[in-house]
Structure 1
Amino acid sequence: MTGVKLICAGKLKEDFYLKACQEYQKRLSAFCRLEVVEIPEDTRPGGLEREGDKILAAIPPQSYVVAMCIEGEEMSSRELSRKMEKWQSSGISRLCFIIGSSEGLSDKVKERAGLRLSMSPMTFPHHLARVMVLEQIYRAFSIAAGSKYHK
């Protein structure tokens, strides 16, 4: 079973985001071993670099890293599903998705990524991005499994 680690800068506080994330975490348990890690957001001068160091330290060795960033590649849910299947069939057993803080991601985290992925040219709250990423990971696995979830 594939391991998926979601590393997020910032802590979810809003109940509605927490409940949505919990729902997708429950659903994903049928497809992967999911781990969600929260890195404290650092708003002090130079904080983005310190966040980056903590994020890099949390990435398991031999992980394929996907950095969620506005300048990343846009793709459909089916395209993401195909990419995830390709990674798995090439022997990658650990995927690591990274969501930065409201300030974004440090350059060193983006450089570590095998894929820079953008959800949209629109701007979303970074806490909502966590729900959206979990949903898209679930959707990608569902597409690969041929389920009726994706229409």
Structure 2
Amino acid sequence: MKITVIAVGKVKETYLNDAIREYQKRLGAYCRLEIVEVADEKTLEHASEAQERMILSREAKRILKHIKEDACIITLEIGGKQLSSEELAAKIEGLGVQGTGHLIFIIGGSVGLGKEVLDKSDFALSFSRMTFPHQLMRVILLEQIYRSFRIIQGAPYHK
């Protein structure tokens, strides 16, 4: 299975990059992982609704360039469905059994994801109703994907 993580913005903190590299290495045993970073737009602290829509639209265009038609698109959204680790593992395994060979997880920027991207989503996933920094979310997502594969394999990491 191929898994692509499309994320808005760059990870600047060394400790987060170290964690990302660790999970990339671990996931190599289970899937082909690709991480695609698209440029984020500078967001003013008190941006108007119109400015935020423009930011979302510009970031969406960058994201959409990397979406493949044959992939299952999973967007990370606060309002998405919350799953346990076991349920996420079952979802990934089920998609694979159904013949889905490519999953794309999309992490938005500081103002979220544009409508153009949300309209392409096959599944909206939420890790919490809380807001997390999108750079940290990348680590959390990779860890949960790794945990999912370990659950699917019946390996002890999950315990």
> Which SS does the other structure have where 1:120 is aligned?
coil
Q: Deviations over 1:32-88 (max 9, x none)?
A: 000000000013631210111111111122000000011100010100000111100
Find the aligned partners of 2:56 and 2:18 in 1 and give their Cα distance: 28
> Which SS does the other structure have where 1:24 is aligned?
helix
**1:29 shift after superposition:** 0.2
TM-score, length of structure 1 as denominator length: 0.97
> Which SS does the other structure have where 2:156 is aligned?
coil
1:141 aligns with 2:117: no
Q: What pairs with 1:24-63 in structure 2 (closer than 5 Å)?
A: 24-43=23-42, 45=51, 46-63=54-71
Find the aligned partners of 2:13 and 2:42 in 1 and give their Cα distance: 20
Amino acid at match of 1:42: E
Structure 2: gaps spanning 5 or more residues:
44-50
Amino acid at match of 1:82: A
1:150 aligns with 2:158: yes
For the pair shown, which has the larger CA radius of gyration, 1 or 2?
2
Find the aligned partners of 1:53 and 1:43 in 2 and give their Cα distance: 15
In the alignment, what sits opposite 1:12?
11
TM-score, length of structure 2 as denominator length: 0.92
Find the aligned partners of 2:2 and 2:107 in 1 and give their Cα distance: 17
Q: What pairs with 1:1-150 in structure 2 (closer than 5 Å)?
A: 2-43=1-42, 45=51, 46-150=54-158
> 121-130 or 6-15: which moved more?
121-130
> Which SS does the other structure have where 1:5 is aligned?
strand
Q: How many residue pairs get matched?
A: 150
Find the aligned partners of 1:15 and 1:139 in 2 and give their Cα distance: 23
Q: What is the aligned-residue identity percentage?
A: 44
Q: Deviations over 1:124-143 (max 9, x none)?
A: 11110000000011011110
- Which portions of structure 1, spanning 4 or more consecutive aligned residues, are displaced by more than 4 angstroms? none
Amino acid at match of 1:14: E
